[in-house]
Amino acid sequence: MYLGIRKIQRFFLFFIVVAISGLVFPHAAFCGGVWLYEIGTPDLGAASAGRGATALDASTAITNPAAMTNLDRSQLMVGTQALFIDTRFSTDNSSYGGGDGGNAGGFLPAASFSYASKIRDTFWIGFGLASYFGLGLKYDDDWSGRYYAKESSLLTAGASISVGTNVTDSLAVGVGLDVLVAKLFMKTAINNFPLDSSKNDGELKADSITTGVGGNVGLFYKLTPKFRAGMTYRAPVKLKFEDAVSLSNLGSILQAGLTKSGLLGRDLDITFTIPQAVLFSLHYDMTSRWAIMGSVGWQNWQEFGELEASIPNTAASDIAVDLNYTDTWHFALGLRGRIADKWIWSIGAAYDTSPCSESNRSPILPLDRQWRFATGFQYELDEDVTLGIAYQYLDAGTARINRKGGALTGDLKGKYSTNRIQYLAVNVQWKF
């Protein structure tokens, strides 16, 4: 009877947390970067190093479902996160003048939820709400790159269900299904001036919601009692925003040209693919109190596709621009140790290569190489509850741009004098 009541209480708490997380979760993917390792979990304090192998809390249900088998009992993790984004462009040259755009970032909240439950000794099931992909920038309306982008946001909200099981005493496998809801909002100025000097800028606007389905496959292997490894593969997710784009305030000459090119009078879609990714992680307990973790990852940015939308000339037959990105690599190293009976400290750093050069970098997505530096603390309130806090600084590089545009977009040259994100996360872990 007592066990039945405990199970009812457990699931009652589970649904309460899901409801609370759902209220704040839609903001979780809005940030200056795109690939989000940061989901408010304790491993943020180690720059997510060793994520697929450390396997110490319920977030494994999202990150590596096979690693759930390393948990000692069922667990629930709730993470909240604040992002402080500072992104400022410095113009070297622009065909049509304008300002630097101000701070295109700002403050944004985020949240995540994960739950891992042992069904029987060798079989686990997990649920999660989190986002690993998103972007968001807003420049001043009169900035020098307004014909490439004025405002863009891609908010993604993902729900996942996963299972993990032991194949042998050392090897576990897991698989997860991800359902992603994505909202795209975008504004770009349209240049009427060369054709009609009396006409103000027109506007290209995209506003649409779509869904995508992906998956996550994981392996977890204990080489020794102190040394474990994890590998995950996350499948690509195709997002197609159909009939998403509208054009307004076009000059008569430009409108006639775009009608002739076939751009006007048909549905304007935007399609891109969230990259597939592979992550290999290691975790080694050097002593009973200290561990070192590391990760190496690959992301398939070549398949990213179209995101920037603009009108380069009067003969344009499409508004979407293929950014022609290249694949990227991720490296992370972290340290985790018990510094007192109830206190755990973590520290880490990570590096991601750039997916593009300055000639094809877009102000809608100013990706460059990225450095992450992080630290965090956890306090074990009792044997069931652990509280955590973590901070991370992300240096996104200068993201230099040297774009040769069309007659209407013009050239844009400059760099980001400031391009950084600061993260502050607070999380709570319950064991049942």
Identify the band that residue 299 occupies on the pLDDT scale cut at 50, 70 and 90: very high
pLDDT in tens, 236-258: 999 888 888 899 999 988 999 98
More confident residue, 136 or 286: 286
Q: Evaluate whether 154 touches 309 at the Cβ level (below 8 Å).
A: no
Mean pLDDT in residue range 131-159: 85
Identify the band that residue 325 occupies on the pLDDT scale cut at 50, 70 and 90: confident
Mean pLDDT in residue range 316-342: 90
In sign, the C-alpha dihedral spanning 142, 144, 149, 154 is negative
Quote the CA–CA distance of 62 and 175 in Å, as a whole number.
10
Identify the band that residue 134 occupies on the pLDDT scale cut at 50, 70 and 90: low
More confident residue, 156 or 113: 113
Model pLDDT, residue 318: 83
Residue 230, token pair as written in the block:
């994890």
Model pLDDT, residue 243: 83
What CATH number is associated with residue 247?
Answer: 2.40.160.60
Identify the band that residue 30 occupies on the pLDDT scale cut at 50, 70 and 90: very low
Task: Specify the amino acid at residue 193.
Answer: F
pLDDT in tens, 103-127: 998 887 888 899 999 998 889 999 9
In sign, the C-alpha dihedral spanning 196, 199, 201, 207 is negative
User: Helix (H, G, I), strand (E, B), or coil: what is residue 279?
Assistant: strand
Model pLDDT, residue 268: 82
Mean pLDDT in residue range 8-30: 38
Mean pLDDT in residue range 46-70: 95
Mean pLDDT in residue range 211-217: 93
User: Helix (H, G, I), strand (E, B), or coil: what is residue 259?
Assistant: helix
Model pLDDT, residue 106: 83
Average pLDDT across the chain, whole number: 87
pLDDT in tens, 388-418: 999 999 999 999 999 998 999 999 999 999 9
Identify the band that residue 305 occupies on the pLDDT scale cut at 50, 70 and 90: low
Q: How many domains does the chain have?
A: 1
Nearest-10 Cα torsion for 196, 197, 199, 201: 100
Mean pLDDT in residue range 305-321: 82
Residue 364 has a CB neighbour count (10 Å cut-off) of 23
Identify the band that residue 38 occupies on the pLDDT scale cut at 50, 70 and 90: confident
Nearest-10 Cα torsion for 71, 72, 76, 80: -60
Model pLDDT, residue 290: 97
Q: Evaluate whether 81 touches 423 at the Cβ level (below 8 Å).
A: yes
Range of the domain at 162: 2-431
Share of the chain above pLDDT 90, in %: 62
Quote the CA–CA distance of 232 and 245 in Å, as a whole number.
36
More confident residue, 134 or 368: 368
Residues 6+ apart with CB under 8 A from 288: none
Model pLDDT, residue 400: 96
